[in-house]
């Protein structure tokens, strides 16, 4: 579990740190959510939560966006945990619902954070970019996870070894 969490953190950091600019909005997006979804769907809620929280926070810190670090820690950590938790019971059957809920959590979380930090006018820029980022993340992650599971059936067995029992 430690190795999978560390791998998820490293991949999320790299994917979050490489920012793709959107010049017309003077904003950027990244593929960090794609990696969070992939790690969560393949390895479960703990690895997904750790990779989302730490990887995204470190990318914000390294990029000089320190104001976003506490928000990323909570929002991306919950995003990874929720996606992994929702998809854990029935592999492949609830993946779309799980990443959709993770996307809504991310969009809503960053909308609240933007509202707290900068006020409602900043939402005009924040929400559309987050929606674009989530559409790309959902599409890429579902495609990649489906192909990874088909091509490498051992991934299902690895997830079985990382048995996480639902405490509810």
Domain coordinates in residue numbering, the chain: 2-19+31-161
Say yes or no: domain 2-19+31-161 is CATH 1.10.1760.20.
Answer: yes
Q: Residue 19: its pLDDT value, please?
A: 81
State the CB neighbour count (10 A cutoff) for residue 152: 12
SS3 content of the chain, % helix, strand, coil (to 5): 80, 5, 15
Q: Residue 91: its pLDDT value, please?
A: 59
pLDDT in tens, 34-73: 999 999 998 889 889 999 999 999 999 998 889 999 999 9
Mean pLDDT of the chain: 86
**Cα–Cα dist 55/59, whole Å:** 6
The tokens for 59 are: 């990318």
Tokens 């969560």 belong to: 40
Asked whether the beta carbons of 138 and 37 are under 8 A apart, the reply is yes
**Cα–Cα dist 16/30, whole Å:** 5
């Amino acid at each position: 579990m430690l190795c999978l969490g560390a791998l998820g953190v490293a991949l999320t950091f790299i994917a979050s740190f490489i920012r793709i600019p959107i010049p017309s909005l003077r904003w950027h997006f990244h593929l960090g959510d794609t990696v969070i979804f992939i790690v969560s769907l393949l390895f479960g809620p703990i690895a997904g939560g750790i990779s989302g929280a730490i990887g995204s926070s470190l990318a914000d810190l390294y990029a000089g966006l320190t104001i976003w670090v506490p928000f990323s820690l909570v929002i991306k950590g919950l995003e990874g945990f929720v996606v992994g938790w929702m998809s854990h019971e029935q592999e492949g059957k609830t993946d779309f619902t799980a990443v959709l809920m993770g996307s809504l959590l991310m969009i809503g979380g960053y909308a609240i954070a933007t509202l707290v930090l900068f006020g409602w006018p900043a939402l005009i820029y924040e929400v559309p970019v987050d929606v674009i980022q989530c559409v790309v993340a959902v599409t890429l992650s579902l495609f990649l996870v489906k192909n990874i599971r088909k091509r490498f059936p051992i991934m299902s067995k690895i997830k079985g070894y990382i048995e996480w029992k639902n405490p509810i």
